[in-house]
Structure 1
Amino acid sequence: MNEKFDVVIIGGGHNGLVAACYLALSNKKTLILEAKSELGGASTSVRAFPDFDANLSRYSYLVSLLPDQILRDLSIDFETISRKVSSFTPTTRNDRNIGLLVNRQLDDESKDSFIALTGSDLEYKKWDAFYNDLFKLAQVMAPTMLSPLLTRFEMKQLAIDNGLSQVWDDFIERPLGEVIRREFSEDLVRGVVLTDALIGTFTPADNLMANICFLYHLIGNGTGEWKVPRGGMGALVKKLTARARELGVEIRTDSKVTKIGDEGSFKTVEVNKNEIIATEFIAANCAPQILAEILGATPPKYTKGSQLKINMLLKKLPRLKSGTDPKAAFAGTFHIDESYAQLEKAFQEAESGKIPNIIPAEMYCHTLTDNSILSDDLNKAGYQTLTLFAIHTPASLFDHDNEGAKAKMLSQILHQLNQYLLDPIEECLAVSANGTLCIEVKSPQDLEKDVSLPGGNIFHIDLQFPFSEAVENTHANRWGVETDDKQIFICGAGAIRGGGVSGIGGHNAAMAILGK
C-alpha cells in the first residue's frame, strides 16, 4: 500500500466531480476512481450517429436543480438557456386538431390557447395561481438545499412563516392527484400538470411518491425553470473535469473499486482487484446499491426505472396538423398522449405487466434553443434533434425481451406521435450511410448496462423529500449524505436532495467530509 489520499471518490459523475472540486479547494488530496473509460456517468454527450457530427445528450438532457451557487463557488462557466415555450400539447376537439401552448412567461398567447381548448379563461387563471404558489414554495425550499438538512417540522415551520401553510398542505401532505383534480377541471390540463410528478417515477397520482418527484421538478434554483445546457450535458462534465484537474484532483478511469476495508484509522480501497489505496474518507458517487455490494452489505430497497429514452436526429422538423409553428411546438416540452386519464390508465396497465395501449411520452428539440451541438454543415442543412422521454414503461416490461420490447414500444410511440403530424416522423429522420434511420432507444436495462444505474433508476434509489423525517437532526444525518460508517459518505443521486443533475449531492458530501 504505497498511496494515501485524504478522500477517494468512487465514480466520476457530475456529483463526484463537484465534490472533488470543493474538497480540492480546501486543500484535500483527492482521487476520483471511475470504473468506465469516460467520466460523466449519465451526464454525457455522445456522437450517437457516427455518420453525423451531432453531439446528443444521450441520457440527462435538461437542467433545473443545479444551483447557481455551485457554479459560482467553483468558478465554472456553464451556461443554461431559457426556453420561451414551456410546453405544447396537441389534441383534437370536435374533429379539429388544436393544441395547448403555454409560454414560460404566461401571456396573451398562452391565455388564448387555454380559451381555445376549454372555452373560457378559468383554467388559465387556475394555472397561474397554482404555479405561483409553487414558485413561492420553491423560493423557500431551494435556499436550504446547500445547507445542513432541516427536519420536516423545521421545513414546515419555514413555509408557515412565509405564509405558505395551505401550499405546504397541498404539495407535501395531500396526495398530488387529489390537489390536481380539485384545482383543474380539464383532463388534458390535469395531465400536463401531473407529468412532472412521473419523470422516472412509477407511481399513480395519489401516491406521495408523485408529490416528491413533482417537488424536485418545480423548486430548482428557486424558480423550477428547466433550461437547455449550452453545448449539451457533456459541456458541464468537461468544465467540471477541467476545473478538478486545475485544482489538483487526480482522476483515474478504468478503475473499478472492488472492495473497501480498514487499515488502522484509514479506509482501504481495492482497485481492479489488485491495487490498494489508503484514504481517510470515501465519497461514493456510485449508486448506494453498488456501494452496498462493494461493502458486502444489504442493499437499500428501491424501485427500478420506468422510462424509455429515445434520441433522434432529423433532416427537418415535421409540420403539425394543428398548424402550429414547429419551432414553437417543439422548443418546449411536447406532450404526447399525457392527459390525466391516459397517465393513470397507462400506470394501471403497466403495473399489471402489460405495455400500455397508449404510452404517455414527452419530447423537446434541443437545437431550436442551442444549435452548437451540431456542426456548421448540419446547421446550414436545417438538421434538428429530438429527445423523447416515455413514462410508465417500467423495467419489468423489458425483462423478457429487451430488444423486442423496445422495438414494439418505439413503433407504438411513433404511431402515436404521427397522429398529430402532417409529415410522418420517419420521413423527417436523418438516414445513416447504411440506410438506417437516426434513432436510438434506451430502456432501463440499457441504463443499468451503460452507466451503472441499478435497475435503470435515474435517481439511483427512490426520491425522498428534501428534509429529514427524524424528530431532530444529529451529526449522523446532518447533510443527508451520511452512512453507518463515519468515514464513508454518499455523494450522488442517492443522497437526500441528490436526484437529478444538480451537484447538490456532491456539494453536501464535501461539506460533511470537511466538517461544515
Structure 2
Amino acid sequence: MMEHDLAYDAIVIGAGHNGLVAAAYLAEAGKRVLVLEAESEVGGAAVTAEIAPDYMSSAGAHLLYAWPQRIEKDLKLAKHGFEMASRDMVTVALDKDGKHLVLPASSRADIARLKDRSPRDAEAYGPFMKRVQRYAGLLQPLLEKGLPVPGEGAKQAATDALSFIWRFEKMGEEDRQELGRFLPASMAQVLDRTFEDPLLKAALAMDATLGHHMGPKSPGSAYQYIYRLAQQNIAGGKMGYPAGGIGALPQALARLIGESEGRVRTNSQVRHILVSDSGETEGVVLTDGTKFHAPIVLSSLDPRRTYLDLLGAAHLAPEQTRRLGGWRMQGACAKINLALEGLPIIEGLEEREYGGRWLIAPDMTAMERAFVAAKRHELAVEPIMEIVLPSYHDPRAAPPGHHTMSILLPHVPYDLNGGWDARRDEFTKRVVDAVAVYAPDIKLKLIAGEILTPPEIERRFGVPGAGWHQGDMSLDQTLLFRPGYGLSHDDGPVRGLYLCGSGTHPGGGLTGEPGRLAAAHVLEGGRTHV
C-alpha cells in the first residue's frame, strides 16, 4: 500500500447511513475521505438481504419515516441509483373485526372511518394534532439546524435563543402550561384524556414507544411522540419505502463516495484513534495494525465505544467518563422476515392499505403488558408489531405473484429467560399465530422465514444491546445532553474528533441528520448552522 493511500483529509469510522451521509457531504465538498467499516457490507442495520433464494427484504430497519429529501437533493442521490418506490405510505391500525383505522385521519374517507368508530374521537383528532404539532414546531428548528453553541457562534446562538423564546411566548399561557405537563407525561395519560377508541390510542402510542425501551405508561413517552413528529416534519411528514429496499440508500451513498475523492473500505475494524501530543487527532489504527492518517476523524459509532474504547478514558475528564459509563442504550426489538407464496388476505383492508405500514397493537394495555414482559425477560403473550410488505412496493423483492413480509417487534427482551436458543421456535410461533388473527391464510402461504433476536441484531449489525438509537432518546439524553457537556462537536475532548452517529444530536432514526450536521461542523470550521 502506497503512502498516498494512507493519508486522507478525513476518516469516517463506520459505514452506517449516518457515517456515509457525513462522508458523502465531505466528498461532495472535494475532501479526500476514507470510510472504514468493520463488516463486509455497508449500511449497518439499513441493509437489504435475501430471506430465501429470490426473496429479498429489508433485513433490519424497513421504513424511511423521517428521511429528509433535502439530503437526497443535496447529494443528488438519484444520479447514483437511489429512488423511492413509495413516498406516501399510510399507517393502518389493524382491527380484529376488520374495521381497520387509517392514520393520519386527514382525508374525508379516513375521518369518516374514524367517526364510525367514535364520533367523539373524530371531533377531537384535529385539535389534538394541531396542538402536538405546535409542540413539535418548537423542537423542529433545533433538530434541523443543530444546537446553538458558545464561542464563534455566540451571535447566532443568541438569535436562535430569541427565536425559540418568541415561538414559546407566541403559544399563549394555556398552551405553555399544557406543554409543561405534556413533556414529562406518559403517552397513556395524554391519550386517555383525549380519546376513547383503544385502537386509535394504541396506534398513536406506537409512534411514542417504537424503538424505545418504554411502554405507553412510561413517563416521558409523550416527549418521544413530539420528537418523532418533529423529525417527520423535517422530512415533509411523509413515510416511504425505497426501490431495492432500505439497503438501496447506503449503496447509493457508497457509490457517490467512490465516484468522488473518497473511498469505502469494508472488513476494516478500527482499534484505536490516534492522538498527537498536542491533543489533536492524527488518524486511526486498524485491528490488523494498518494506520491511516487524517487531521479529522468522524465516528458513527455510539459515544461510549467512540470515547471509551477507541479514544480512551485517558483523554476524558472524570465527569465525562462517568457520563459515558451511565449512558443508557438498551434496546428491545426483534425482527422477522417472511417469504410468502401469495398476498396475505386481510378482511376489510382496501387496496392502497396493502402498501401501508400495518400496526398490530389492539390497545395500550396489550402494549404495556408486552413492555412489562420484556422488563421481566419474558415474551409477550400478545406480540406488538409493525409490518411492511416490501414486495408490494418493489416487485423485484419476490417472484411474480409472491411476496415478502417484514415484521418489526418492539418489547422483546435481550436476555430471555431460558435463553433464545431454546425459545426461538416458541417466539416465532407466537408471532405467526398473532398475524394469523388478522390474516388467517398466512400459515398456508408461508414458504421460509428469518428471525433476528436482539442478540443477533447486536452481532449482525453492530448495534450494542440492539438499541438502534445508540442511546435512549429520553429528556436527559437528547438536545444539549446528547451525549453531554464536553462530548459534543464544539467542545469535545480531542480537537478534530467528531461524532456523526445516532448517539449525537439530533438522535436516532433513519434521518441522516447527525451525519449531515457533523459534516457541516467540519466544513464550516466548527460552526453549528448550515
TM-score by length of 2: 0.84
Partner residue of 2:293 out of 251, 263, 278: 278
Letter in 2 for 1:401: G
Give me the whole-angstrom Cα distance separating, in 2, the residues matched to 1:356 and 1:328.
30
* CA deviation after TM superposition for structure 1 residue 414, in Å: 1.4
Please tell me whether residue 345 in structure 1 is matched to residue 362 in structure 2.
no
* CA deviation after TM superposition for structure 1 residue 486, in Å: 2.6
**Is contact 1:101-1:329 (8 Å) kept?**
no
Give me the whole-angstrom Cα distance separating, in 2, the residues matched to 1:5 and 1:492.
20
Letter in 2 for 1:106: S
Please tell me whether residue 6 in structure 1 is matched to residue 9 in structure 2.
yes
Give me the whole-angstrom Cα distance separating, in 2, the residues matched to 1:155 and 1:134.
19
Partner residue of 1:31 out of 31, 34, 44: 34
SS state of the match for residue 338, structure 2?
strand
Letter in 2 for 1:185: E
* CA deviation after TM superposition for structure 1 residue 208, in Å: 4.2
* CA deviation after TM superposition for structure 1 residue 243, in Å: 1.1
* CA deviation after TM superposition for structure 1 residue 162, in Å: 5.2
1:448–1:482 distance in 2 versus 1, CA, 3 Å: farther
1:70–1:442 distance in 2 versus 1, CA, 3 Å: same
Match in the other structure for 1:467: 479
Match in the other structure for 1:197: 208
CA RMSD of aligned residues (A): 2.8
Q: What does 1:309-320 correspond to in 2, within 5 Å?
A: 309-320=335-346
| CA displacement, residues 282-326 of structure 1 (integer Å, 9 cap, x when unaligned) | 100122232222234355422321011111121112223xx3136
Letter in 2 for 1:157: I
Please tell me whether residue 187 in structure 1 is matched to residue 198 in structure 2.
yes
Give me the whole-angstrom Cα distance separating, in 1, the residues matched to 2:284 and 2:302.
17
Q: Which moved more, 1:217-226 or 1:238-247?
A: 217-226
Q: What does 1:168-187 correspond to in 2, within 5 Å?
A: 168-169=179-180, 171-187=182-198
1:157–1:124 distance in 2 versus 1, CA, 3 Å: same
Match in the other structure for 2:111: 111
1:38–1:133 distance in 2 versus 1, CA, 3 Å: same
* CA deviation after TM superposition for structure 1 residue 428, in Å: 1.4
Give me the whole-angstrom Cα distance separating, in 1, the residues matched to 2:163 and 2:337.
39
SS state of the match for residue 415, structure 2?
helix
Letter in 2 for 1:446: E
Please tell me whether residue 79 in structure 1 is matched to residue 83 in structure 2.
yes
| CA displacement, residues 161-210 of structure 1 (integer Å, 9 cap, x when unaligned) | 55374474465343333211111122222111101111121213243442
Please tell me whether residue 19 in structure 1 is matched to residue 22 in structure 2.
yes
Give me the whole-angstrom Cα distance separating, in 2, the residues matched to 1:84 and 1:13.
24
Partner residue of 1:125 out of 91, 98, 123: 123
Match in the other structure for 2:154: none
Partner residue of 1:405 out of 423, 428, 445: 423
Match in the other structure for 1:68: 69
Partner residue of 1:160 out of 158, 164, 168: 168
**Is contact 2:208-2:228 (8 Å) kept?**
yes
Give me the whole-angstrom Cα distance separating, in 1, the residues matched to 2:264 and 2:212.
33
Match in the other structure for 1:46: 49
Letter in 2 for 1:62: L
Give me the whole-angstrom Cα distance separating, in 1, the residues matched to 2:147 and 2:449.
42
SS state of the match for residue 309, structure 1?
strand
1:404–1:338 distance in 2 versus 1, CA, 3 Å: farther
Partner residue of 1:332 out of 352, 356, 360: 356
For structure 2, the 5+ residue unaligned runs are 150-159, 314-320
* CA deviation after TM superposition for structure 1 residue 419, in Å: 2.1
Match in the other structure for 2:521: 512
Letter in 2 for 1:442: L
Give me the whole-angstrom Cα distance separating, in 2, the residues matched to 1:159 and 1:338.
37
Give me the whole-angstrom Cα distance separating, in 2, the residues matched to 1:312 and 1:114.
31
Please tell me whether residue 456 in structure 1 is matched to residue 466 in structure 2.
yes
Partner residue of 2:229 out of 218, 229, 235: 218
1:404–1:226 distance in 2 versus 1, CA, 3 Å: farther
Match in the other structure for 2:316: none
Give me the whole-angstrom Cα distance separating, in 1, the residues matched to 2:465 and 2:249.
25
1:200–1:352 distance in 2 versus 1, CA, 3 Å: same
**Is contact 1:187-1:339 (8 Å) kept?**
yes
1:302–1:131 distance in 2 versus 1, CA, 3 Å: same
Q: Which moved more, 1:198-207 or 1:163-172?
A: 163-172
Equivalenced residues, count: 487
Give me the whole-angstrom Cα distance separating, in 2, the residues matched to 1:107 and 1:244.
41
Give me the whole-angstrom Cα distance separating, in 2, the residues matched to 1:193 and 1:112.
18
* CA deviation after TM superposition for structure 1 residue 11, in Å: 0.7
* CA deviation after TM superposition for structure 1 residue 406, in Å: 2.9
**Is contact 2:384-2:411 (8 Å) kept?**
yes
Give me the whole-angstrom Cα distance separating, in 2, the residues matched to 1:361 and 1:443.
14
Match in the other structure for 1:428: 445
* CA deviation after TM superposition for structure 1 residue 224, in Å: 3.6
Q: What does 1:287-302 correspond to in 2, within 5 Å?
A: 287-291=302-306, 292-297=308-313, 298=321, 299-300=324-325, 301-302=327-328
Letter in 1 for 2:297: I
**Is contact 2:469-2:508 (8 Å) kept?**
yes
* CA deviation after TM superposition for structure 1 residue 137, in Å: 4.2
Give me the whole-angstrom Cα distance separating, in 1, the residues matched to 2:472 and 2:349.
38
Please tell me whether residue 251 in structure 1 is matched to residue 264 in structure 2.
yes
SS state of the match for residue 395, structure 1?
coil
- Percent of aligned positions that are identical: 23
Give me the whole-angstrom Cα distance separating, in 1, the residues matched to 2:16 and 2:518.
14
Partner residue of 1:371 out of 385, 391, 394: 394
Give me the whole-angstrom Cα distance separating, in 1, the residues matched to 2:121 and 2:455.
39
* CA deviation after TM superposition for structure 1 residue 272, in Å: 2.3
Match in the other structure for 1:439: 449
SS state of the match for residue 7, structure 2?
strand
